[in-house]
């Protein structure tokens, strides 16, 4: 089972999740992209329950979902694809305190100091860099790609000039992702 973990304010129905869902369905590979709570502890609990309910699991995490994927990969020794991952969301998401945007329906949710504090609990030391495949674009307008390279210098890597936080044209790497996750 491949579990896609969306980013902050995202959903399992976002464009990237939908593209992966369509690709893996055509490949006959089990895939889910749950819409997770914005509350970090609830999101992690949901993901842990999903991981523990399947025999074989691999992860794909984007942005904050990449941070969660690092934590879960280390805890369960899973392979993980990290797409422009957040490595310090407890720093970068501090700017969103108050009313934070939901990119699914353009509503808002309350993001506070307690959520940021909880994120710090999931910071982990990378145990097995060979479990990770990093996809980074230097044009990411929200996160510094160098921070991911700093913590995962020996991970498999695609590093592109330009692009943006969503990782433009990720679909051209779907076959590479499938091969890595086998």
Residue-range domains of the chain with CATH: 2-181 (3.40.50.1820)
Predicted confidence (pLDDT) per residue in 130-139, tens digit: 999 999 999 9
| 106 band by pLDDT with thresholds 50, 70 and 90 | confident
pLDDT at 103: 87
- 52 pLDDT exceeds 90? yes
pLDDT at 39: 97
Q: C-alpha angle with apex 96: 3 to 109, nearest 5 degrees? A: 70
Over residues 173-180, the mean pLDDT reads 98
Distance (Å, whole) CA 53 – CA 98: 35
Mean pLDDT of the chain: 96
pLDDT at 99: 86
* CB-count exposure of residue 180 (10 Å: 0-12, 13-18, 19+): middle
- 40 pLDDT exceeds 90? yes
pTM of the full structure: 0.96
Over residues 19-39, the mean pLDDT reads 97
């Amino acid at each position: 089972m491949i579990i896609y973990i969306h980013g902050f304010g995202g959903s399992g129905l976002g464009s990237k999740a939908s593209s992966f869902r369509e690709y893996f369905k055509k490949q006959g590979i089990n895939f889910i992209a749950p819409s997770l709570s914005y509350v970090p502890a609830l999101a992690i609990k949901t993901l842990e329950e999903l991981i523990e309910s399947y025999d074989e699991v691999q992860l794909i995490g984007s942005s904050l979902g990449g941070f969660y994927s690092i934590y879960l990969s280390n805890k369960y020794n899973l392979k993980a694809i990290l797409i422009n991952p957040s490595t310090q969301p407890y720093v970068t998401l501090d700017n969103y305190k108050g009313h934070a945007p939901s990119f699914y329906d353009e509503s808002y949710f309350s993001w506070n100091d307690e959520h940021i504090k909880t994120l710090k609990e999931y910071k982990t030391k990378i145990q097995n860099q060979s479990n990770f495949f990093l996809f980074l674009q230097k044009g990411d307008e929200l996160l510094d790609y160098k921070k991911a390279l700093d913590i995962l210098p020996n991970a498999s890597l695609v590093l592109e000039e330009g692009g943006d936080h969503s990782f433009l044209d990720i679909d051209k790497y779907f076959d590479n992702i499938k091969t890595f996750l086998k």
